Structure 1
Amino acid sequence: MKQVNRPSDDPLKVSKILDLKNEIKQNQQYKTTISDSIDFTNIQDSALDSMTSSLQRIYTLTQQAANGSYSNDDRQSIKSEIMSEVETMVDSLNTNFAGRYIFGGQASSDKPFSVNKENGGFELVFNNPAGAPNGNVSKEIGRGVMVELQTDGSKLFNAFTDSEGNAQDLNALFSDLFQALDSDDTEALGGRLLTGVDKAMNNTVNQRTNIGAIQNRLIAARDRNEEEYLNLETTRSLTEDIDLAETYMKYSMQMVSYQASLNMGTRILQTNILDYVR
């Protein structure tokens, strides 16, 4: 039951009720965005967990290949396993959530990573469409409150800098690693390449940490959103809905007064001139 049924009943109250309903609607839109973003970061975390596992296995295999007692055939077997781990890693990085590639930057409809095996090669490719922005995706989770989802795949592809300060990407790292395995270069395998894999792993962990921090912020925003929703609904109900207990009490009191008035009226009507003659 409502306190007002038409705008003409109380224009100011109706205006306030409409404003509250708009606030509640916007609150629910923010809630949807926050929930979707939390799910998105969960998928990202799972993908980076898989990538970290692949890099840990590649690190172990590189360490084994640096052993001087291994033959070239042994290193070729290791090379095949590393290639398989790289493809597993690419599959994780190409995870699609609700039609969006989680590390596709702002061009989220395009698959960001691929492996090129043309002419017997093995090239890890970061697919950045020409002219497409390669940054993170921003989401509005509250009035004037923005959060950046870490969707920029280039931060994972450009893994680290070498000892000379030059940027190194994953494709260059793995290309050098495969070349060292082919040439039995144990010094490179146990030195700069092992260090490179370790740096790539640390970079992945750092990106995962950033995503975890964003996820914590989103969870806090969800809690605030739910609290705000309860406050808005309470205010709307107090403004729009009647208080049944209070209304019933007022009704009962009015009925008592009404009955008393009827009784008094009945007694007055029953009085005639003969009553005064007596």
Structure 2
Amino acid sequence: MEQSTHENRQLVSALLSGAIAGLSVDLALFPLDTIKTRLQSQFGFINSGGLKQLYRGLGSAMIVSAPNAAAFFSVYEASKRMTIDHLKEPIVSNMVSASLAETAACLIRVPVEVIKQRTQASKVSSGIILKEALREEKLIGLYRGFLSTISRDVPFALIQLPLWEELKSIWCRLTGQPLEAWESCVCGSISGLTAALITNPIDVAKTRIMLAKKDNKYGRVNFLSVIRIIWKESGLRGLYSGATPRITFITIGGAVYLGGYDFSRKLIDHLLIAS
């Protein structure tokens, strides 16, 4: 009974802390995400909106932000508990857990990501974009770019989460003290920066696929083919289009998201135990 209560408390803590972390990142850094999307758009930065209305598409992002982050961290924490005894090595457990968590989160995130990015790169509302997508491609159209998103986000999570956990562990060993909130933020920032640099070409391909109509050259092929097209058309510069705002977003976001998660979880754990 006591173990069951403890596990339930951990689940509630992960859900609430993840939701808080996700909302905090999206509210604070949404303009950088908009700039990144417009820089990566095949229509060009200015034609996609330039620096105007940088919070366009925020509504659709907010709908999924809390449940997406809550799903991610609850699956991540649950998977770590279930796999650590079988996989022995903590880093392997963290990698497996990160992959499962990211896959679960993508099931929630991708449809809203499609609407959000099309809204960011256009001059019409999210509602009109949603109706158009459903009329032209039905529900399956809202999962355009799902495989490319998984192909970007699972490797991203495989790098970011284990690196974050390892950096925190190293920091604790060096100081001999439990981590402070700002120290967890620094570890989250470094791990996010590293993962963002490595996965940016996949992110560009994912954006092109999500913005494409079904008869567009980017809408008819998989993400590897899109990467080849971009490489042929504009080389490394094309594959790292939007890299500056994206890497800035994720570097700051890693601090807010992962550091904020740790801080919120400690606070919520304390409140749950006290109650």
TM class by shorter chain equals under 0.3
Q: Select the structure that is richer in helix.
A: 2
TM-score by length of 2: 0.25
Structure exhibiting the larger radius of gyration computed from Cα positions: 1
